[in-house]
Amino acid sequence: MSQNIVVPTMAEMMSRGETPEVLFWVGCSGSFDDRAKKITKAFVKLLNKANVSFAVLGTEEGCTGDPAKRAGNEFAFQMQAMMNIQVLDGYEVKKIVTACPHCFNTLKNEYPDLGGKYEVVHHTEFLKSLLDQGKLSIEGGQFKGKRITFHDPCYLGRANKVYEAPRQLIEKLDAELVEMKRSRANGFCCGAGGAQLFKEPEHGDKEVHVERTEEALGTQPEIIAAGCPFCNTMLTDGVKFKEKESEVKVMDVAELIANAEDL
Amino acid sequence: MQYLGQVLFLLLLVAGFGFFIKNIKKLIRNIKLGRDIDRSDNPKARMRNMIRVALGQSKMGKRPIPAILHIFVYVGFIIINIEMLEIIIDGLFGTHRVFSFLGVGYDFLIGFFEVLAFLVIFGVVVFWIRRNVIKLKRLNQPEMEGWAKRDANNIIYIETILMCFFLIMNAADGYLQSIGHGHYFQAGSFPISGLISPLFEGMNPDTVALIERFCWWGHIIGVMLFMNYLYYSKHLHIFLAFPNTYYANLKPQGEFNNLESVKKEVALMMDPNADPFAAPAEPVGEPEKFGAQDVMDLNWVQLMNAYSCTECGRCTSSCPQNTTGKKLSPRKIMMSTRDRLEDVSKILDANAGQFVDDGKTLLNDYITPEELWACNTCNACVEECPIDISPLSIIMDMRRYLVMEQSAAPVELNNMMQNIENNAAPWQYNQMDRLNWKDEN
Ligand code: SF4
Ligand code: SF4
């Protein structure tokens, strides 16, 4: 996992007079969280492999404002949104891909009303389209026959009805996709959304992420696949809590594909 | 004397519908206490949604057993009410089974109604068992104590009694027809009540006729009472499910509205040319509150939602926070909103339509911050609701009030929001380090 990755920024591209096809919105987790950075890199490797013309905003990117909005702080949210829209419009961005369903939802659904209108796709949808266009091929490799269960992120699934793309990608790995009882529209939250990731839970019998992890472990998986850096954190914590980290891995769909390709 | 029955009947109808209309007016007045929200777009899609979700019960299918039972009760109740038309004409004009001229068609209708009536009884009996004997968790959670529980059972009892009146009336009528008593001519077919008729054998025919009349009156009086009970009951959903699904949110569930009042202020802050001392363009009235502290700060769709809620608890049983033992229950959010709205309504009634501060608000006195801060905004409750209610939208509006008007967020969330404002990330990382991952190993 050490070969170089190529990550052009919008500013660099602009100075070269180039316009990328798509902007990769990395997000705060993807930029700063140690676990999520690995997902970011895995996705970049796939973009490099498929020769996608993309760029990131780098230091010009700022939080979409999602956690502030869900916590009830419209001011902080709208300030972030307006600043980001200025930057995005300055680069005449048309299409955005992101590996974070929260950024995805906010950019896709809440920015247009504030003047930021872009085509926004989740990285699983984007990878699926690369596959369909023949720009990327997936071989089962090390995941052949492995039991993988997919956890639907609320802001990808219910919030935006993207259920199939991540599943189709997992199936391409020749893995055995096993479903939890509560999946797709009935998916059960990992416990992070609504700004819960940033605070202690209220008093109760159990933590939400433990409940969800137990359900995932109930499918006897070798891998729990996620499509969201927050879900990834919560489920990883859950697996540790259940002392199963030596048997069960929590991985992003992009990491699965990148690993299968030995990238 | 001959017209006494008809006059009494007329009085009953006038009183029944009179009170009903009064309640409907109150309902509309209370819903209109809410803020305005535009849901007039896309009438076709709205109509489709209403037909699918309310009429077609499309979201009930997830749980097949209650879905089938509910269909029995729902279809039975609506169709048997066609019979009301005949009862009203008979009652007003002193006729008996005025539609019987339809002949075979009439026989079929009455027979069909009877089968439905039986299914209604079957349905509500199973509902009663699920609630009171099996004690399903979803139907017996804390917010279902007291009135909510009595209300649910009342509905079951009233429906059973109404259907029994209907069937016994037919049984008596059928028996009197078979012995050719008085004006009881041959009309209708009685597949279910025919099984009860033999019980009348050997009884004085006049007594049987009295029983028939008693049930006839009992049925119509019961219907009038039930109609007026609706306002106080979760059963209001039989009407409100329709407008409620018509005016439902059709946008992606993940899309939360951007507050207009905030938009203006942010635009001003972002505009380098704005003169901070310029007179505001709009007349200064009471500045609009950010978010919701009380029911008047919610919008009318949210208030209609509160009156429409069937208290079925599908939302709560899918809520990640409730199912792990937290206080938050989306059903309770709806019930508390309705409770508060009803209390406000009583204040309005007592003060000639003027609201007088009673020292209470929806926030704190009915819904606590602890409930609000537990929400994952996961939309499970919205997805689950059979009539497209959004408890989440109320939770969000109240959080907004807590944060923007009271700065009363939990400490960790305040830190998170401060970080976003200071360094454009929810954690304390420098924005200039955002691309460092590229070169790390
Ligand atoms: S959105 Fe909130 S209230 Fe609704 S199910 Fe999720 S956590 Fe519960
Ligand atoms: S909000 Fe909907 S799902 Fe929840 S109790 Fe009311 S009707 Fe049932």
DSSP A35-61: HHHHHHHHHHHHHHHTT--EEB-GGG-
Q: Do A76 and B417 touch (CB under 8 A)?
A: yes
**Every domain of chain B and the residues it spans:** 4-31+63-238, 260-271+289-427
Ligand 1 mean position, distance from CA B218 (Å):
44
Stretch B401-405: mean pLDDT, rounded? 97
Residue among A7, A198, A207 whose CB faces B412 most closely: A198
B272 band by pLDDT with thresholds 50, 70 and 90: confident
Nearest CA in chain A to B268: A79
pLDDT of residue B1: 56
pLDDT of residue A248: 98
Q: How many angstroms separate the CA atoms of B101 and B355, rounded?
A: 55
Stretch B123-152: mean pLDDT, rounded? 96
Ligand 1 mean position, distance from CA B330 (Å):
6
Residue among A5, A71, A109 whose CB faces B409 most closely: A71
Q: Do B431 and A212 touch (CB under 8 A)?
A: no
pLDDT (tens digit per residue) in A67-89:
999 999 999 999 999 999 999 99
CB burial string A28-61: b at 16+ within 10 A, e below: bbbbbbeebbbbbbbbbbbbbbbebebbbbbbbb
| Ligand 1 contacts CB of residue B372 (under 6 A) | no
pLDDT of residue A1: 45
User: Which among A211, A169, A162, A160 is positioned nearest to A190, based on CA atoms?
Assistant: A211
Q: Determine the CATH number of domain B260-271+289-427.
A: 1.10.1060
pLDDT of residue B53: 97
Ligand approaching nearest to the C-alpha of B388: 2
* E strand or H helix at A185: none
Q: Tell me the one-letter amino acid at B312.
A: C
Residue nearest (by alpha carbon) to ligand 1 atom 6: B378
- Distance between start and end Cα atoms, chain A: 6
Q: Is A38 part of the contact surface with chain B (CB cutoff 8 Å)?
A: no
Q: Tell me the one-letter amino acid at A96.
A: I
* Angle (nearest 5°) at CA B156 between B154 and B159: 105
Q: Tokens 């009038």 map to which residue?
A: B224
CA torsion, ordered B332, B338, B343, B347, to nearest 10 deg: 150
B321 neighbourhood in chain A, CB within 8 Å: 202, 204, 208
Task: Please identify among residues 3-42 of chain B the ones whose CB lies closer than 8 Å to any CB of chain A.
Answer: none
pTM, entire model: 0.96
Q: Which regions in chain A score pLDDT beneath 70?
A: 1-3, 140
B328 neighbourhood in chain A, CB within 8 Å: 202
- Cα-to-chain-centroid distance, residue B399: 24
**Shortest Cα–Cα distance, B389 to chain A (Å):** 15
Q: Do B435 and A58 touch (CB under 8 A)?
A: yes
Q: Is A48 part of the contact surface with chain B (CB cutoff 8 Å)?
A: no
A230 neighbourhood in chain B, CB within 8 Å: none
User: Which among B36, B437, B15 is positioned nearest to B247, based on CA atoms?
Assistant: B36
State yes or no: pLDDT of B54 exceeds 70: yes
ipTM of the prediction greater than 0.90, yes or no:
yes
Residue among A32, A193, A204 whose CB faces B324 most closely: A204
Q: How many angstroms separate the CA atoms of B123 and B72, rounded?
A: 6
Ligand approaching nearest to the C-alpha of B307: 2
pLDDT (tens digit per residue) in A139-185:
767 899 999 999 999 999 999 999 999 999 999 999 999 999 999 99
pLDDT of residue B284: 54
How many Cα atoms occupy the beta-carbon half-sphere of B359 within 13 Å? 0
In chain A the domains, ranked by start, together with CATH numbers, are: 10-130 (3.40.50.1860), 138-260 (3.40.50)
Ligand approaching nearest to the C-alpha of A195: 1
